Amino acid sequence: MPQISTADFKTGITLDLEDGLFQLIDFQHVKPGKGGAFVRTTIKNLRNGAQLDRTFRAGERMERAFIEKKEMQYLYNDSSDYVFMDTSSYEQMTVPPKALGDAKNYLVENMTASLQMFGDEILGVEMPPAVDLKIAETEPGLQGDRVSGARKPATLVTGLVVQVPLFVSPEDTIRVDTRTGEYLTRAN
């Protein structure tokens, strides 16, 4: 892997440090009046999501990691793992639910997602900002249920439970924000 210096830091680059794989969230070069310059950073562990502050000496060199993004089509869930297919080589890959994180709540069969990979290790999934999901179960909507702000729980086909307005019916398809898990609108 290529080495980079603290002078080459840019937000979003990935570093392969001795204690894990980290993405640079924020950085600041500091030159105090006394002593050597240093770089104060905020980094995110890509394996567990933890954020921490770390300081590096100015000019310090470290390994840069390249994260590959693969377009994969979600095929099915085989009760323990999720099966994806590479859209270019048609090669299938099984992915444990832990590697998907919250993305598993939004996956429906034949959906395309971008898997972030470091070698053969899956670090995460990039989902579209919103997905359309069918409601599996909720109380039926009634004519006149238009009270502003009133909500009821709805279970989606993926098992995710979201709060929806009272007028949404069990057969509806709704659009859900994948970043917050909130109802956006009906998609019928």
pLDDT beyond 60 at 178: yes
For the chain, what is the mean pLDDT?
87
156 strand-pairing partners:
135
Q: What percent of the chain has pLDDT over 90?
A: 33
Q: What is the pTM of this model?
A: 0.70
What domains does the chain contain, in order, with CATH numbers? 3-65 (2.30.30.30), 68-126 (2.40.50.140), 130-186 (2.40.50.140)
The CA radius of gyration of the chain, in Å to the nearest whole number, is 22
Q: Where in the chain does DSSP place strands (E)?
A: 3-5, 14-17, 20-30, 38-45, 51-57, 61-65, 68-77, 82-86, 92-95, 112-118, 121-126, 130-138, 151-156, 161-165, 173-177, 183-186
Whether the CB-CB separation of 89 and 72 falls below 8 Å is answered with no
pLDDT beyond 80 at 149: no
- Give dist(CA 82, CA 68) in Å, integer: 19
